[in-house]
Amino acid sequence: MKHNMEIQLDKIKVKKLNEYEQHELWQTIVNQLPAKKHQSILFSLFFKPRVMLGIFIALMLTLGGTATVQAANSSAPGDILFPLDRTIENLRLKIASDTKKEELKVKFSQERIDEINHIITEIETDGNMTIDQSVKVTSTSTVSATSSDFIDERLQNALGVALHFINQTKLDLEASGNSEAMTQINQLLDDLGNDLQNLSSEAKYKLKLESNDDKLRFEIKSKEKGEEKVELRLRSDEEKNRLQIKSREDKFELELETDDDSVQTTSSVSSVARGLTEAEVKIYTASSSMVKVEFNNQSSSFMLASSDRETIIAAIMSKYNVTRQAVEAVLKIEIMSNTSTSGSTSSTSSQGSGGQSNNSNDDNVNTNRQNGSVFIQSIEAEVRQNKTRVRVKYQGQNDQEFNLAVLSRSELVSALAIKYHLPELVIEGLLKFEVSE
């Protein structure tokens, strides 16, 4: 016979990696493997990467920046010498004084951009050749060709590195208040934006770079619709920057977020008008509904103290400054009946939720479910020793009582939100929480 716990545990079904995630992960892993595949056998026989790096650095330090450094310096992301390029830069930064440091950083930002230009020229001159080649290389390792088809992988890499670097520099400069350097950086970004736009006439895709005070955005728009989704995420542990390429139908979006101003990012976007793409309203009680809106590719949600259609439309209109038609075109309204789910959960649940029997008011639930008007009136929770006693009061129905193993208010809110399929904000509003010693 199966153990009772086993039955419970068998319900766990992890959402596994989908094909796309698997692919993306593999790509990131391969990119991080130290010995790259295009390294020749002869080369790897004589030089282990680490040994090689050591030799170059030793050379650089003794000769003080001659041919070797020059060679490394002209390497772009994806080249074997690129890591060395960065290492040397870091060394120079470490040695430099504070003011010198900022100058250097601007200079290195320029280099990053030059590298991109270098790759762009390569793509332009080789035309489709480069793209075909990269497809060939990756397909031997059974990597699907969609992303390389869409944009040359090296360019993608280089842009990633460059934007990450520049944004880092920008933040540093902002912190130190060096306005002259800031202007230079912004100038560089503008230049890069222009370069990318010039490329667009040749290629299958259109590139655009935008920079605001607090974020960088890089956009790749495909001229053909229905491209596959590509997402690139870069994360460095210390700084928690996140670089993302998102795609929505015919549009790509690359976003760089840092922890401190991720909030600003969301708000600053709304000024760039690209419109309302989604508005989903879930009505939970007569006086509370949750509105989920996607505006300019940013989704956000808020609570409204009304369930009236007109009021909801008006609220969205005023909040996002859009027309009535725009709202109505995408508006979806759903009436949530939480009673039905609570009933079924408590009857199957093993964590003792069935303080009260549900049978007596089954009829009641059914009739009410149809018009969706039975709602939880309030929830009282009291913490005693190791458990929390929860009492749920329904409108026109018997109360329900059960115990939970959660102890903190926030956890309880989450637990109840999952149990009743209600947003946490709604639960917060209903909950009375008490701790008794």
Residues at the interface with other proteins (CB under 8 A): 3-6, 8-17, 21-22, 25-26, 28-30, 32-35, 37, 44, 140-142, 233, 235, 345, 349-352, 386-387, 403-406, 410-411, 414-415, 417-419, 421, 423-424
What is the nearest approach in angstroms of other proteins to the Cβ of residue 340? 14
What does the DSSP 8-state code read for residue 127?
A: T
Q: Which is nearer to other proteins, 2 or 94 (CB)?
A: 2
Pairwise CA distance, residues 57 & 51, whole Å: 10
Q: Which is nearer to other proteins, 233 or 432 (CB)?
A: 233
Q: Which is nearer to other proteins, 140 or 436 (CB)?
A: 140
Pairwise CA distance, residues 183 & 167, whole Å: 13
What is the nearest approach in angstroms of other proteins to the Cβ of residue 94? 25
Q: Which is nearer to other proteins, 121 or 350 (CB)?
A: 350
Is residue 259 within 8 A of residue 233, CB to CB? The reply is: no
386: how many CB neighbours lie within 10 A of its CB?
8
Residues belonging to the chain: 437
Interacting residues of 94 by C-beta distance below 8 A, sequence separation 6+ = none
Pairwise CA distance, residues 187 & 191, whole Å: 6
What is the nearest approach in angstroms of other proteins to the Cβ of residue 271? 27
What is the nearest approach in angstroms of other proteins to the Cβ of residue 28? 5
Residue 147: strand, helix, or coil: helix
Pairwise CA distance, residues 170 & 256, whole Å: 12
What is the nearest approach in angstroms of other proteins to the Cβ of residue 166? 23
Q: Which is nearer to other proteins, 340 or 373 (CB)?
A: 340
Q: Which is nearer to other proteins, 366 or 410 (CB)?
A: 410
Cβ burial of 343 (10 Å; 0-12, 13-18, 19+) is middle
Q: Which is nearer to other proteins, 213 or 302 (CB)?
A: 302
**Cα Rg, the chain, nearest whole Å:** 29
Pairwise CA distance, residues 164 & 171, whole Å: 11
What is the nearest approach in angstroms of other proteins to the Cβ of residue 390? 12
Pairwise CA distance, residues 350 & 405, whole Å: 13
What is the nearest approach in angstroms of other proteins to the Cβ of residue 189? 27
What is the nearest approach in angstroms of other proteins to the Cβ of residue 258? 16
Phi, psi (degrees; rounded to nearest 5) at 306: -160, 155
118: how many CB neighbours lie within 10 A of its CB?
16
For residue 202, give Cα distances in angstroms to 94, 150, 207, 219, 275: 41, 13, 11, 16, 29
Q: Which is nearer to other proteins, 287 or 350 (CB)?
A: 350
Structure tokens that stand for 227 in this block: 């491209």
